[in-house]
Chains A and B, each alone.
Chain A
Amino acid sequence: MSRTFKNRAFKTTVLAAAVISAVGVAQARDQVRIVGSSTVYPFASYVAEEFGAITDYPTPVIESTGSGGGLRLFCNGVGEDTPDISNASRRMKPSEFERCAENGVTDITEAFIGYDGIAFAQSGANPAMEVTREQLFLALAAKVPVEGELVDNPYSRWSEIDASLPDREIAVYGPPTTSGTRDAFEELVMEAASEAMDAYGGEGFTDIRTDGAYIDAGENDNLIVQRLAENTDAFGIFGYSFLEENADTLIGSSIDGVEPTPDAIGSGEYPVSRSLFFYVKNQHTDEVPAMYEYANTFMSEQMIGELGYLKGIGLIPAPEEMREKARQAVADHESIELADLK
């Protein structure tokens, strides 16, 4: 008898616990939810940790989903179960803005936090290489012009492209198509170089060769770094912060004559630098009071400034004027229009 009673008591407790937790779901949220770019993730998590440690709010939850994946979740709609902020290592695309609007996410503030350079680097065992964007394009494009005709990329060694380049096989480890780093590389190197070439009629050509010279190395930049240590002939494409962290074993190539240094990236002189952003869903301002507290903490001089903490972990600060402007835009909850993104 007592055994059945115990059983029943146990079952009731389990059921009650389930019901209580289900009720908990319906409560308002004071924890900010953030998704998005894996490039911005280290910076965002730094700010989030600081925010959690020095304020009474719980630490925001940050998922590293990639820029595209983050904005997809962000644009799913308004409401507690959607993210409040999405990080992006590129600007929001007009198509994403439209999708947001279709789902009722109409009031978005864009926060510009600084720059990140994309390094084209190799093992430090080699002499430094100077390369131009055009040479990079010729090494990596799926189709290149040969005597006025577009043909499948025939180059297998760097020296075939230009005599000044080393006599080494073309092998480049880089990010997969889902990565924001890849998007940026395609735009800043492939598109820019091909637009200047007559053979493409002024149109950007961004298809990267798939015959094995470009090796898809996955989202984890550390893997690329490790592979470069093993394969000293190869090059890698990854975020500048990984080059800085591994400066003892890797050297970055100069592109169009500019070395990848923080100053050159911040001033835009280094051609392969991109802006980093996060997007705030203003319709959540009242339901999630911590959201703007966090956003303003992120935009503070202490974080994104010349002497800010984020510089120490690889963010390249924007010039003061731009920082000031970006900070003001966030403070005013300024909303972006479709026209801003084009």
Chain B
Amino acid sequence: MTQAFDHIEAQLRRRHRKTRLLKALSMGALGLAGLFLVLFFTDMLIKGLPAFKQAQIQVEVDYSEQASQLPLAAVSEAVRPLVSRGYLRLIPSRMRDDPALQGTTRSEWVLADGQVDQYLKGHHSKLSDRHRAVVDRLRAEGRVELRFNTRFFTSGDSRMPELAGIASAAMGTVLTLMVTLAVAFPIGVMTAIYLEEFAPDNRITQLVEININNLAAIPSILYGLLGLAIFINFFGVPRSSPLVGGLTLALMTLPVIIISTRTALRSVPDSIRHAGFGVGCSRWQVVRDHVLPLAMPGIMTGAIIGLAQAMGETAPLIIIGMVAFIPDIGGSITEAATVMPAQIFTWAGEPDRAFIEKTSGGILVLLAVLITMNATAVVLRRRFERRW
């Protein structure tokens, strides 16, 4: 008898040990994933936060006759290399637009050159020792300081790091996603409704189902090739435009929306449908008035997650020409545009080291938007989803 108990006890210990091991391993896995996440975020924050500040410098700007021809003449020679060329080159056009400026001398806070900015932030800077001394003196006098970089959010790409911003890419992303949503959402939801509510269960629908699941797993670059072949080469949609980008990403998002919509529809209990039929509703009425509204939170969640995925996509967009230099902020879906991940990709390849912080800054903004989108999806689900 005792022997049997010993045996059982040993077995029990073994089983408990296995449980503890599994628990430790899974916690370790979670810890490792968390560690990577923390490392990544810290790295991005350290590198990216300086991007939200930019050096400004207070100089005497002389709006003379000469400056309207030769903008360099507007500031004194001593501080000329410290002022951004992006500011100087606009002086002639500003003088044309505002005749009152003519002949005046004003003390203005203007954008400093990118090298001054990097020097102030303690990064590698190509500023000469002489100019460093000037910057130090001006800083002591309070005439050079780091201020919040609004330009990062209001201007487009630039070759000059002090001018570069994410606005054109953000606008491109918005336009592209609007096209994606307008195309993928109705088609995706309709497809799911048909498959779930109307289609008979036969070989053909099973084939369609397998294909949809398959499409969701295809590498995104293939959608780029498809977009190039169909939308650009066949339909003549302009290259690099949010229209072609949106259509291509719509193809990519479709399976995600279809699958999540089907799941949402399936989770609506049949008793609702039966009740509807019982009081004489047609299938159309049941779907429109009961099943679809009840499934909506799930559908919205799927759509948001699909869009968030599309938003982070670069590979297919390289092929359709959306990874490009776009300083102008566009407003139409047929003009050339770029998107935020593509902008980050472009900055990552710049030789000028001042772009390192721009790259990380761009990543931070993109992450913030993605987290907001995914959080919205979670909130929608929590708030409106009904459990049966």
Contact = CB atoms under 8 A, between A and B. Distances in A.
Interface in B281-303: none
- Residues of B contacting A: mostly: loop
B349 A220 contact: yes
Given A53-B89, A54-B89, A25 B352 contact: no
A222 B334 contact: no
B159 A58 contact: no
| Residues of A in contact with B, size category | 35 or more
Given A21-B332, A45-B325, A61-B324, A50 B89 contact: yes
Given A245-B352, A314-B351, A64 B236 contact: no
Contact of A25 (B182, B325, B334, B351): B334
A242 B327 contact: no
Contacts of B321: 63
Contacts of A53: 86, 89-90
Interface in A237-256: 239, 241-242, 244-246, 248
B365 interface: no
A63 B321 CA distance: 7
A222 B327 contact: no
Interface in A20-47: 21, 24-25, 31, 33, 38, 41-42, 44-46
B259 to A, nearest CB: 25
B328 A62 contact: no
A59 interface: yes
B170 interface: no
Interface stretch (B214-222, B238-246, B379-387): B238-246
B332 A24 contact: yes
Nearest to A225: B351
Given A25-B334, A50-B89, A53-B89, A41 B325 contact: yes
A21 B238 CA distance: 11
Interface in B324-381: 324-328, 332-336, 346, 348-353
B236 A313 contact: no
Interface of B: 85-86, 89-90, 93, 124, 158-160, 182, 232, 236-240, 243, 321, 323-328, 332-336, 346, 348-353
14 contacts: A21-B334, A33-B239, A42-B159, A49-B160, A50-B89, A52-B328, A54-B89, A61-B325, A61-B326, A61-B336, A63-B240, A64-B349, A242-B351, A313-B352
